[in-house]
A and B are shown apart, each in its own frame.
Chain A
Amino acid sequence: MIFHPVILALLLGSLISTLMILIGAVFGSQILRQWNLSSGSQKQLNMERRTYLISTFLMFALISELLSLLLYVYNAEQMSVQFVGAMCAVGTLNANIYGFPTLIAKIILFFCAALWLMINHADNQAHDYPLIRWKYGFLIAILPIALSTAGLQLSYFLNLETDVITSCCSKLFTPDGDNVTAEMAGLDEAFALGLFYVCLALFFIIGLRFYLTKHGHRLFALASAVLFIASITAVISVISLYVYEHPHHHCPFCLLKPEYNYIGYAIYLPLFVGTALGTGAGTLASFVQIPSLQETLTGFVQRLTLASLISILIFAGIVSGAIYLSALRLF
């Protein structure tokens, strides 16, 4: 293991937030068994009070996951000088088999925590905690994700040795590899770009329909998730080329570097926010039928949907702007 302050910080952060989720899940199992709102017993009162603690924990875990996601990538970026063959974050993440899975797990955990907080918010608007079992069931389901994220990260750092020769973006994101990333990078640029814009268009059609008619919430949640994957694929396969103005440099991380005006943050932030809000809106809409939620939830879902559409619009605008302004012409 490399004894590095950032690594210690990341481990500390993941330890704390995992512990919080663990406590939340343990409490969740109690809720599932014993929750009874009509009872005035001390036990019920204590349980209700504890829900405040758990929401705070989850809020904290969400912020911590977001920061640690940034820190993780950023650290990988900086540590790349220590690895033979690494030029950017990709090389560092590739230094052992846990690097990329950790990243993916962190992203999933981030979305889960965001979704949980949205459900929690909706639940708090109703007079009878209609989603309480749902919410804590979900929290219990998040626990394995949180544990494996923490485990993956720990394994990644424990197995990180500087004397390995790693392969960096120039190798990983080249079309002639045989892994998923290579598949992504190997996509025909025109096809990838076309697919990306088709996905965007579909997302907006589905989203606007949902916003205006309140129909098709599952489709919208699905569209948000699909759009996220499609966008990441597009970033790797073609958008990055435009940003780097280099026909073969496929890398989703170099975008974050100052050389490219930190455009990566401007691209990823609205994408992540839009995806989180979109999946949240779609998921929450399935609870609209609950009588005590009907009134408040409709408005909340509408706001989430709108915010999601706007975020993705910003994302699309920035990406299109980058393509338009690029000196590179692929077609």
Chain B
Amino acid sequence: MKIWIERQRSLIDFTVAGLLRRKVRNLGLMAVYSCVVFILATVMLFTHSLRKEASVLLSDAPEITVQRVIMGRHALIEHTDLDVVSKIRGARHARGRLWGYFYDTANGANYTLMVPDKVHTIKQGQVQIGAGVARARDLKKGKFLFLTTNRGKLFKLQVSGILSTESELVSSDLVLMSEQDYRNFFRLPSNVYTDLVLNVRNSREVTKIAEKISAVLPDSRVITRDDILRTYESLFSWREGILLALLGGALCSFIIFAWDKTSGLSASERQEIGILKAVGWETSDILTMKLWESVLISLGAFLFAYTLAYLHVFYFSAGLLEPVLKGWAILYPQFHLTPEVDPLQVMTLLFFTVFPYVAATLVPIWRAAIIDPDTVMR
């Protein structure tokens, strides 16, 4: 065992010395490798924390949402339906919600207009806005937000607060206003809501209650929180997967590149291996040494690139990836995701990068290792 460790140490030392002797070539290789890992890691870290963020947010969302559906499309739901739902046993805090989108012709952005849950927090004539909106319209607390309805009527609302940046990912485009202002702005009658939400007393009964609602309101769609969670989960995974598959192409070409680099041993390298074999190194010594080389290169590049990606995502808001992952939103949130390293993810990434790299170099390494020791005699 001691001999084994000493042997590996000697071989690693020798490998490192060899890598340093061919600095330019190996640095080039590592740079390309790091790029690939960096992109992959950024995508994975980013989508992972988005997903995490979404699920945290959803954790205090209402358990059931009821939407009215007319001709297959989401329609306004009426107050009477709220009464029906409230009467179902096990349902708690059934309430109607008002929210919708508004296209701001002034700067081409889409806002989400919404009446907050606790009505009394926002007085009539006031709004609370997300940081994205504040940036786009250059607003501060106390200033006025002017919105023009589709009918050309001008609304003047005083900004009573800007939503904290903590939750900017979701709140960036929010405009919170009072129910009265909302109804006036969109010219909604007072007996309709965008949808209904309710909590459930016993969380095991969610499915049962959802079924009951479907039965009493056959023209509605009932969505449970778990449904949303699952959809989010698979949506994010799916996006991540697609991206990875695309990047897989890049990875493939990189692997070919690695193969090429390893198999196209330079004359001096062949000479060196020949010398080693001639002075008494065995095929497996060369194999081990070269394997260490692959592992050191790939693991080194991996760690380096992963650290970079980590910093990029969590401290520089993934600036390079924004457009790809989130669509070309104008109110793009500037936010800081909670740093998190997920071992499963690291292992996955290892599987995607170090693993194929080492695999691709095995055959070329072996080919180098079986050079005849007598080649250097000629």
Contacts and interface: CB of A to CB of B under 8 A. Distances in A.
Interface of A: 2-10, 12-13, 16, 20, 49, 52-53, 56-57, 60, 64, 67-68, 70-71, 74-75, 78, 81-82, 84, 162
B102 interface: no
Interface string B345-376: 10111111001101100110010011000000
A81 B233 contact: yes
B61 to A, nearest CB: 15
A205 to B, nearest CB: 28
A12 B370 contact: no
A16 B356 contact: yes
Top 9 nearest A-B pairs (CB, nearest first) are A3-B241, A9-B351, A53-B366, A49-B370, A4-B237, A9-B348, A6-B348, A3-B238, A16-B359
Interface stretch (B80-88, B161-169, B283-291): B283-291
A133 B347 CA distance: 36
Interface of B: 44, 55, 226, 229-230, 233-234, 237-238, 240-242, 244-245, 248, 283-284, 287, 291, 343-345, 347-352, 355-356, 358-359, 362-363, 366, 369-370
A64 B355 contact: yes
Given A9-B352, A84-B226, A162-B234, A3 B245 contact: yes
Contacts of A12: 351-352, 355-356
A6 B233 CA distance: 13
Given A12-B352, A52-B366, A52-B369, A71 B241 contact: no
B195 to A, nearest CB: 23
A12 to B, nearest CB: 7
B54 to A, nearest CB: 12
B344 A71 contact: yes
B344 A78 contact: yes
B351 A71 contact: yes
Given A49-B283, A82-B234, A162-B230, A8 B366 contact: no
Contact of A13 (B55, B355, B366): B355
7 contacts: A6-B348, A10-B351, A12-B352, A12-B355, A56-B291, A78-B344, A162-B230
Contact of B287 (A9, A52, A70, A82): A52
Contact of B344 (A3, A20, A60, A75): A75
Nearest to A7: B241
B237 A2 contact: yes
Contact of A71 (B283, B347, B369): B347
Contacts of A67: 347, 350-351
B234 A60 contact: no
A74 B347 contact: yes
A60 B358 contact: yes
